[in-house]
Structure 1
Amino acid sequence: MGSDKPWERSKAVRPTRRRSDPVITPELPGSAGPFSGEDSEAEIWSRLSPVSKDVLRCLLTRFGVHPAEEGRLLEEAAAGCWSGLELRAGLSGLQAAGAVQARLRFWGERAVAVTAGSYLKWAAVASPWIAADEEAAHRSAASAVSGGGALYSRALLGALAELARSGPVLTVKGRLHGSTIKALEQAAGLSPESFIQLDPSLRLDYPGSVALVLDWSFSSGILRPGRAWSWDAQKLRTWLDEPLMQRERGLFRWILDRAVRRSAEAAAAASVISSLREDVWYSVPKLEQLCRSRSVWPAGCPGRDSAAWTGLLEWLAGCGWAEWGETEQGESCFRLLLSAEGCGEDGDSEGDEPLLLQPDGDIWAGAWTSYRQLWPLELVAERGEVRELTAYRLTEKSLKRSAALGIGAGQLREWLAGASGAALPPQVEALLAQCLPGTESRSTLFAVEESGEDAAGSSGRPCWQPSDPSLTFASLEPAPAAEVQPWLVLQAEKLPAAWTAAPRNYRPSACRQLLESAVRLHIPVELHDGESAGIFVPLQVQGDGDGWAAEGFYRKDNEARVPAMLIPGQVGRIRLHIPGNAPAR
């Protein structure tokens, strides 16, 4: 009986890799993104002030990795319990700690953002999933309903083969021909439009599933752009030779990295997925609750639509990386069959499992046949449905396409004999003689070899630069540190020194002047009544003389805001509260 995991089916027949065989560890797009670098975010977080933490949460949940104009960020963060000057000081602290990057727009406005590579770590420390919550989301038993199908890398392999068969030849407008686009769309299958950031220049010309294949091909370097697209055989060979689990995890990381770049909601969904353990069933409503807590601010506000969240879960299940399930009580569940990072070294890899060549021209490839063996098959044969044993058939049509690629009868005959470990059946020999008469040419793409012509032709071609908001942001001029010193602000205003000294009682008119100054400077005040003290943030003062009223809110435990209206009879001892100072007693 086959396993639930696509890569464990037919595992008993998988040859074991020898200890002397090298393990190739190529650099993949996305592998240097959210899962690389020093894990210093938790240390930085522990040193941040409460207001800096709230500003960072607001940036993550409202904007994700997209740059936020400083004024708009502070306006969004003002929905919390802090005054304007405190928020400015908190943002200054974030920049000083290296938690955010600040850039100057060309018109002089400041913008701030976290990098796409650090977002997942920041989301984990800013909105942690505590053990009690994870335990509440865990489900000990569930029945798999769907998912766990063919791996996405197999669909990607087929799409690359379609590109190879087409050249790829471009139109005069620099795009693929319509027939190639249709073939790619059929090969690629799943469309990720609801949750992934694709390059806009590709998305304008191609369907989402095709744009994804091209975006990955360009960003991985396998396909080289220019007036005529070309192949980098070295990078293609590196990808084909990767161990199966390493290849899947690399694709998984790339997908999560692009989801992070899509929107704050998609980034939150990616952060939740990255925190899940393999082979553990989780309650979907509980996971969605965590996702919503990371995509709105403050916590508890209603979330937006969950198109990105649902789209990402469905994509992972369709890729063979996850499964949907259901408990006996009918609750929807979800589990990962593999994670993006994995646990330790992946010892599982494809072996040189021989192909089964049938007398009628059918070729059977097992679940653990290496991609290096599957690549030539994708080019020269018609593939059936991907199963534990996948059928390929040599046909007159497929062999004529092979001839167009420069694959000669001798090259194909030599490869088939070596891959199957047996002599070619007479019927196959006759088919080759009929469809590839006298063609003894050799295709470097079929053999995954770099030709001198390709290597020379690649010089001068532009590097692939996806139109990504974080790249645009990084190209801006760094903004100088905007250090906020509340004491200097107050000194510049030349306020009475007594207003910041020990709290005291004032006449109603003087109290109104103090509150009006607090509103103008966006700072809170301390209110003292006997032994108790509270922080009040005035937003506006109405009325004249002794008949004024100050509208604002009390701050409770540095978390909640309690709306209130302050009138002269309610004010005892008072002073301006300098951000960073503890309230006086």
Structure 2
Amino acid sequence: MIEAIIRKFAGSPFTLSKLNTAAVDRISGAELRAALPDMLLKGQVAAVKKSWGDRLYYIPGDVLFNYWSHWSSLDSARMVPGNITLVQAAKRGLVSDLFRSLSWIAHHGLPLTAKGTIHQKSLNKWLEQIELAEKDLVGLDLRYPHQEAYPARAAVLLDMLLVLGVIRKERGSWSLNAHELSVWLSRSAQQMNDMLLHEVLLRYVPDDVTLSHFAFRLIAADLVEGQWYSLQEVCVSLTEQRMLPGELPEDKQLWMRSWLEALSGLGWLDLGENREGELVFRWSVKPFSHQNSESQLGAEELFYIQPDFEIIVPPEVSFRVRWELELYCENVTMDVMSIYRLSRTSIAAATQQGRTVEEAIDFLHNGSAGIPDNVLLSLKQWAKEMGRTSLAEVQLLRCKDEEAAGRIAAHLELMGVLEPIGPLAFIVDPNQRNKVEKVLEELSLAPPRPGLGQSPQLQYIRLETAAEIAKQEAAPNRDLADQPAWIYNGRDYQFYERDISIPKRDQLFPGMQDIPGVWLKELRKYHPSTARKIAQQALEWDTKIILRMDEQLVELIPERLEGDENWHIHGLLMNPDMNGKDLKTALRQVSLGPEQWEEMRILLPKI
């Protein structure tokens, strides 16, 4: 039953009256309606209620994913032979672009204008970190708030960050949520890709059954990672399954090409051309792939520190580790193998975020295959030079040791600017503060920015431990799964109240109390006028009629009545004993008059 509904509606909403239109072959509309309560209870179908009480039904996203990814009845699309010209390799990917976005927000924030949009300068600087391009998304025709201010790639990134719950909008900027960030960065790359493609399919495919079938068709198990397939062959496989019409309008063909281009820009598909110039594609990284087992928890992959202070980061290194690398190092490249660089400047910047050099050394020891001696020596030297002083709220310059205090007291430019208080402290003239900080920088004794080292709310988030994450996840009412869509795809049901009520029998089959019960219970011979009323009722319920013809029981799916006194009923006639036979032989179109059968009754399915 659920397959018939998916084939007809995909993810689009439908009413109870429209459910009949999903009837196909042996399945009647009545059978679909009778199955609805059970499908609602099992979560195969969900419902919402409009403000005036009307109900809308729809197939939840998880049901669609499960159906398509395990659909074994699908005719396999044929693989494209060799001689493929690569047109566009899969880009770095949405996982990577989101990570760069999170790091950027942690370091720089995303300040907002009075209108609630990101400052143009900050927006441009942020998007410089992103590989996803406008041309990757242009054909999807996305609709979203502040469309005049944000390019499509910024809208997609904001939408994904919002649905993951990792950012929130405050009065003056977008900020990070520490718990949700910790949860997200604790996932494997495969888990991230699974979640992101799930959201992309549910959010950016229009409310169009044909386009939905095409987009979800790509995740079916027969399209394996690393093999080339043509767009045409995929469409043919859907047409053979009666999921697409024989001739596709040009606008739908253009959208399908645009969808493949978007998936390439988001890091999942390679695009190419075959010898005939047809568009072909292959999964570079395929989420929901059965050949990719879920990442196993084991020893953490290590990164490699080079004597020249560069750090080589293999793809298996976790995003939790990368988050700390983003703090202590400068990112050089982010690719399959990412490169970071340690420097005095990067370590100093980390101390401005409330970390210490000792913490940096511990992190590098634990996460790497070893710290070269010259790198460790430099880190220890920087530790001596950093964090030895701090500016107190009362403009007090404190020294960590007497050697630092002596160097400061002896400096000519600071004489008369600082007032000593004991052997390790000086009062700073507020009007000379900039001068004091400049001299301390020259002496390699610059303190952290005021208050940052002491602040209970650090700018760069310390990720929660696994135990802290587990404790938060166990707390009630922490469900971020139903984040509203920021990019509008045309499906209105997301704006309505969830409805968990189950329709009763008289709602599914109105008027039952107004007909004789014998119409449903016994095979009888009726006067032609009564037989017409029975046929009319079966039509209204879109249910089958059992007929006894030539001493044999057959089932009729009525389609229309014709005539009054000399009437005929048109429909599909089937033999109940031919369930395993080919539909072409089991079903036949007929036009019958009441004199052509001996007995009849309405066949109402059980609920």
- Scaled by the length of structure 1, what TM-score is found? 0.65
Residue in 2 that maps onto 1:94: 39
Measure how far apart 1:111 and its partner are: 2.4
Deviation per CA, 1:436-488: give whole Å up to 9, x if none: 9835346776764379xxxxxxxxxx997632469847843422332369999
2:123 aligned counterpart, secondary structure: helix
Residue in 2 that maps onto 1:501: 522
Measure how far apart 1:177 and its partner are: 0.8
Could you tell me which amino acid in structure 2 is paired with residue 223 of structure 1?
I
1:277/1:165 CA distance change after superposition, 3 Å: same
Residue in 2 that maps onto 1:351: 302
Deviation per CA, 1:359-402: give whole Å up to 9, x if none: xxxx5645457656655775798766645666678999x98xx9
Measure how far apart 1:410 and its partner are: 9.7
Counterparts of 1:244-259 in structure 2, within 5 Å, are 246-259=188-201
1:155 aligns to 2:100 (yes or no): no
Counterparts of 1:402-421 in structure 2, within 5 Å, are 407=352, 415=360, 421=372
1:65/1:372 CA distance change after superposition, 3 Å: same
Q: Is the 8 A contact 1:274 1:339 kept in 2?
A: no
1:381/1:209 CA distance change after superposition, 3 Å: farther
Residue in 1 that maps onto 2:261: 314
Q: Is the 8 A contact 1:188 1:213 kept in 2?
A: no
Could you tell me which amino acid in structure 2 is paired with residue 60 of structure 1?
I
1:273 aligned counterpart, secondary structure: coil
- Higher RCO (C-alpha under 8 Å, 6+ residues apart): 1
Q: 1:545 aligns with which of 538, 546, 565?
A: 565
Residue in 1 that maps onto 2:416: none
Q: Is the 8 A contact 2:49 2:497 kept in 1?
A: no
2:303 aligned counterpart, secondary structure: coil
1:206/1:340 CA distance change after superposition, 3 Å: farther
1:72 aligns to 2:18 (yes or no): yes
Of structures 1 and 2, the larger Rg is shown by 2
Alpha-carbon distance between aligned partners in 2 of 1:518 and 1:81, rounded to the nearest angstrom: 15
Q: 1:283 aligns with which of 229, 248, 266?
A: 229
Q: Is the 8 A contact 1:528 1:574 kept in 2?
A: yes
Counterparts of 1:6-405 in structure 2, within 5 Å, are 53=1, 56-74=2-20, 76-78=21-23, 83-95=28-40, 98-124=43-69, 128-130=71-73, 133-134=75-76, 137-138=78-79, 145=86, 146-190=88-132, 200-201=144-145, 206-228=150-172, 229-233=174-178, 235-236=180-181, 239-240=184-185, 246-261=188-203, 262=205, 263=207, 264=209, 265-266=211-212, 269-270=215-216, 272-273=218-219, 275=221, 279-284=225-230, 285-290=232-237, 305-306=252-253, 309-324=256-271, 332-340=280-288, 342-346=292-296, 350-354=301-305, 357=308, 363=310, 365-368=312-315, 371=319, 375=323, 386-387=334-335
1:466 aligned counterpart, secondary structure: coil
1:175 aligned counterpart, secondary structure: coil
Could you tell me which amino acid in structure 2 is paired with residue 440 of structure 1?
P
Residue in 2 that maps onto 1:438: 446
Alpha-carbon distance between aligned partners in 2 of 1:491 and 1:567, rounded to the nearest angstrom: 27
Could you tell me which amino acid in structure 2 is paired with residue 70 of structure 1?
L
Measure how far apart 1:343 and its partner are: 0.8
Residue in 2 that maps onto 1:576: 601
2:287 aligned counterpart, secondary structure: coil
Query: RMSD value over aligned CA atoms?
Result: 5.2
Runs of at least 5 residues in structure 2 that lack an aligned partner in the other structure: 365-370, 386-439, 465-477, 486-490
Alpha-carbon distance between aligned partners in 1 of 2:318 and 2:42, rounded to the nearest angstrom: 47
2:600 aligned counterpart, secondary structure: strand
1:345/1:467 CA distance change after superposition, 3 Å: closer
Could you tell me which amino acid in structure 2 is paired with residue 176 of structure 1?
I
1:204/1:386 CA distance change after superposition, 3 Å: same
Q: Is the 8 A contact 1:199 1:466 kept in 2?
A: no
1:267/1:196 CA distance change after superposition, 3 Å: farther
Q: Is the 8 A contact 1:356 1:365 kept in 2?
A: no
Task: Provide the aligned length of Structure 1 versus Structure 2.
Answer: 493
Alpha-carbon distance between aligned partners in 2 of 1:356 and 1:574, rounded to the nearest angstrom: 93
Residue in 1 that maps onto 2:483: 466
Alpha-carbon distance between aligned partners in 2 of 1:523 and 1:62, rounded to the nearest angstrom: 18
Alpha-carbon distance between aligned partners in 1 of 2:102 and 2:528, rounded to the nearest angstrom: 78
Alpha-carbon distance between aligned partners in 1 of 2:441 and 2:213, rounded to the nearest angstrom: 55
Runs of at least 5 residues in structure 1 that lack an aligned partner in the other structure: 1-52, 452-461
Q: Is the 8 A contact 2:95 2:192 kept in 1?
A: no
Measure how far apart 1:281 and its partner are: 1.5
Residue in 2 that maps onto 1:449: 462
